[in-house]
Chains A and B, each alone.
Chain A
Amino acid sequence: MKLKRGKMLIDPPASASSDIAFILIIFFLVCAAVQPETGLAQVLPKTEEKKEQQEQSKNIEVSITPTSIVLNGSPLQLPEFTLRLNAALQKKTRDTDRVVVVKSAPNTPYPIWIRVSQVIEQAGGILTLELESKRTITVE
């Protein structure tokens, strides 16, 4: 014989639901506020126009295109570029000699650009952008 079990349902008090929602919102707000952001820092001195064309030509020159990286006229892929750049910068001790002039093709994707920029920085180079508008930015 089966015995009928009495119903034991307990409803949560409806008046507390707004308080629960309030606490939940506070929780999600705090979570969103403390979400850390990661990035690559670059110290940028103020933009200046390049004055000495001859001095620029002595610096290491890097051209970035969507398919290749050209280091002083030699097209390379990223691993080889890293090795060659490290070797080239190791010999240079003065800050002025460590300037790396970067010229990007207009259709260069950001992920490629940022990788090259990181490689230059890690090799101890001082990144300098050469823009179409004849402005030069030095990135330390």
Chain B
Amino acid sequence: MKLPRKKLTASVPAFAMGDIGFLLLIFFVILARAQDDSHIQWQPAKLADIKMAAAPLASVAIDSGFKVYLDGKEISPDELASSLSSVLGDTPAGQRNVFLKVHKEAKASHFEPVIAAISEAGGDLVHILEPEETSPTR
């Protein structure tokens, strides 16, 4: 005599889907944040007549402590040129945009070696600045 086996169905509770999606999103957001440079503390200098910048291949930053970062990772200015060259690779000229974010209190001794390194790597330098507010004329 055959005994009928009871069917055991395991279903995922549908009401938890929102929570699962939320946690996954948090995970990917944290992962993405680790690759960008938004954690770097810096304040841009202000300048009039500046344009929108095109998308960069690399981003170099000098923070408020005058440390140098390449794509969010701290690097010494001496190593910057070689690291930047490998990031830029064989990208044709005109598309080798490198954003340079310099803290407004940085001095020439901090930013000039960085500009030299970007130049050595053949990057198309774009200084990231804040548009200067012009006072309204009465």
Residues of A within 8 A of B (CB): 15-16, 18-19, 21-22, 25-26, 29, 36-47, 64, 104-111, 113-115, 118, 122, 129, 131, 133, 135, 137, 139
Which B-chain residue is minimally distant from A115 (CB atoms)? Answer: B47
A-B contact pairs, 15 of them (CB 8 A): A25-B22, A37-B52, A38-B130, A39-B127, A40-B51, A42-B126, A44-B122, A46-B120, A47-B119, A107-B109, A109-B106, A109-B107, A110-B106, A133-B116, A139-B125
Which interface residue of B26, B107, B120, B130 has the most chain A CB atoms within 10 A? B107
**Closest CB in chain A relative to B87 CB, distance in Å:** 15
A96 to B13, CA, bound (A): 73
CB distance A131 to B112 under 8 Å?
yes
CB distance B107 to A107 under 8 Å?
yes
A135 to B127, CA, bound (A): 21
Q: Which residues of A contact B45 (CB under 8 A)?
A: 110-111, 114
Residues of B within 8 A of A (CB): 15, 18-19, 21-22, 25-26, 29, 45-47, 49-53, 99, 102-109, 111-113, 115-116, 118-120, 122-131
CB distance B112 to A22 under 8 Å?
no
**Closest CB in chain B relative to A92 CB, distance in Å:** 23
Q: Which residues of B contact A115 (CB under 8 A)?
A: 47
CB distance A114 to B108 under 8 Å?
no
Other than A18-B18, A39-B129, A43-B125, give 6 A-B pairs with Cβ distance below 8 A.
A21-B22, A41-B51, A111-B46, A113-B111, A114-B47, A135-B116
CB distance A25 to B29 under 8 Å?
yes
B116 interface neighbour in A18, A64, A137, Cβ under 8 Å: A137
CB distance A39 to B51 under 8 Å?
yes
Which B-chain residue is minimally distant from A106 (CB atoms)? Answer: B109
**Closest CB in chain B relative to A65 CB, distance in Å:** 10
Q: Which residues of B contact A43 (CB under 8 A)?
A: 124-125
Answer whether A40 and B108 are a contact pair too, CB < 8 Å, given A22-B22, A115-B47, A118-B47. Answer: no
Q: Which residues of B contact A36 (CB under 8 A)?
A: 52-53
A37 to B53, CA, bound (A): 6
CB distance B119 to A46 under 8 Å?
yes
CB distance B116 to A114 under 8 Å?
no
Which B-chain residue is minimally distant from A40 (CB atoms)? Answer: B127
Which interface residue of A40, A47, A139 has the most chain B CB atoms within 10 A? A40
CB distance A18 to B19 under 8 Å?
yes
The 8 closest A-B pairs by CB, nearest first: A18-B18, A104-B108, A106-B109, A108-B108, A44-B119, A39-B53, A111-B45, A47-B120
